[in-house]
Amino acid sequence: MAPSLHDDVAHLSFLLGEWHGSGEGRYPTIEPFGYNEQVEFRHVGKPFVSYVQRTKHAETGLPLHAESGYLRPVGVDAVEFVVVQPSGIVEVHAGTVDAGSGSIVLEATDVLTTPTAKEVSAVRRSLSVDGDALSYTVDMGAVGQPLQHHLSATLHRQ
Amino acid sequence: MAPSLHDDVAHLSFLLGEWHGSGEGRYPTIEPFGYNEQVEFRHVGKPFVSYVQRTKHAETGLPLHAESGYLRPVGVDAVEFVVVQPSGIVEVHAGTVDAGSGSIVLEATDVLTTPTAKEVSAVRRSLSVDGDALSYTVDMGAVGQPLQHHLSATLHRQ
């Protein structure tokens, strides 16, 4: 039996479900690339929302990126987000939620990397849901480059 | 079709699979508690191993803890581990791997917490696999207490 949604995450319910779609990435230091993506936002009845993401290269179909994390509500209009990547990057974000328009804007307050990971200095993520369509962008400052557009994608709820 | 294991994580193959079991937790600031646990170590053919964990309270069956992260090999005897928890804690670990004895010892080089999370100052994790049995301990320094035993569990490969 599915647990009831915790009251503290009721205003994040627009995120819940499994989402599939595609996106594109670019950065001054790499070739632009397309990807297919699967995202899940889930809850277990506790006051957080879990996030799991995987992408595959649009042309080769090979696994490309993955990340997982948790959204922690702070009242009804703010949120904390912690997320970890196999590339050795962990991000701690503070952000705002506008449940009316289904949008979240997140800014990394801290980014940590393991000794063998690439340097990442700043990350900004924004996400909006309109019905069963979710679109997001990720801006990143990394490997000596200033914060700038890196990823954008549009996904659909399954 | 399952991807081939990447050569760089061959010495971590003793971890792979889904594990179920039980453990117990204690800390000076809380009542001791028992928990049931499910852990998955997976790979997608890339040079990392993903980790997902969930626990439920041994008596009530309610969701208790969760965490997810990634192991990144550094040669054949060292490893980096990044892990994130819905309690707003992210840990970056450096550690050693002894594939012969199936053991990993990890020490957090950095622990970050979100503004609303409890304070955690230090984490040490050790894990060993003997055939299809996995046992681990977690030591933690938190909420003003020094680094000390917090969790121990034994799991079995499904």
Kindly report the CATH number assigned to the domain that includes residue A130. 2.40.128.20
The pair of three-digit structure tokens given for residue A64, joined into one six-digit string? 């490309």
Mutation target for A interface from B114, B118, B120: give the one with most A CBs within 10 A.
B114
Domain of B118 in residue numbering reads as 7-157
**Burial status of residue A75 (CB atoms within 10 A of its CB: 0-12, 13-18, 19 or more):** exposed
The distance of Cα A149 from the centroid of its chain, to the nearest Å, equals: 14
Q: Write down the pTM of the prediction.
A: 0.96
Per residue in A17-70, pLDDT (tens digit) is 999 999 999 999 999 999 999 999 999 999 999 999 999 999 999 999 999 999
Task: Assess if residue A1 is contained within a domain.
Answer: no
Please, are residues B47 and B73 in contact by the beta-carbon 8 Å criterion? yes
Task: Assess if residue B1 is contained within a domain.
Answer: no
- If one counts the domains in chain A, the total is 1
By three-state DSSP, how is residue B9 classified? helix
CA distance B59 to B63: 11
Task: Assess if residue A87 is contained within a domain.
Answer: yes
CA distance A149 to A138: 6
Give residues with Cβ within 8 angstroms of A13, minimum separation 6. A5
Task: Assess if residue A2 is contained within a domain.
Answer: no
From chain A residues 87-146, the ones with a CB under 8 A of any chain B CB are 88-90, 92, 94, 110, 112-117
pLDDT digits (tens), chain B, 158 positions: 689 999 999 999 999 999 999 999 999 999 999 999 999 999 999 999 999 999 999 999 999 999 999 999 999 999 999 999 999 999 999 999 999 999 999 999 999 999 999 999 999 999 999 999 999 999 999 999 999 999 999 999 99
Residue count of chain A, please give it.
158
CA distance A135 to A48: 21
Q: What is the ipTM of this complex?
A: 0.95
Task: Assess if residue A19 is contained within a domain.
Answer: yes
Chain A residues lying within 8 Å of B50, measured CB to CB:
66, 68, 86
Chain A residues lying within 8 Å of B63, measured CB to CB:
3, 44-46
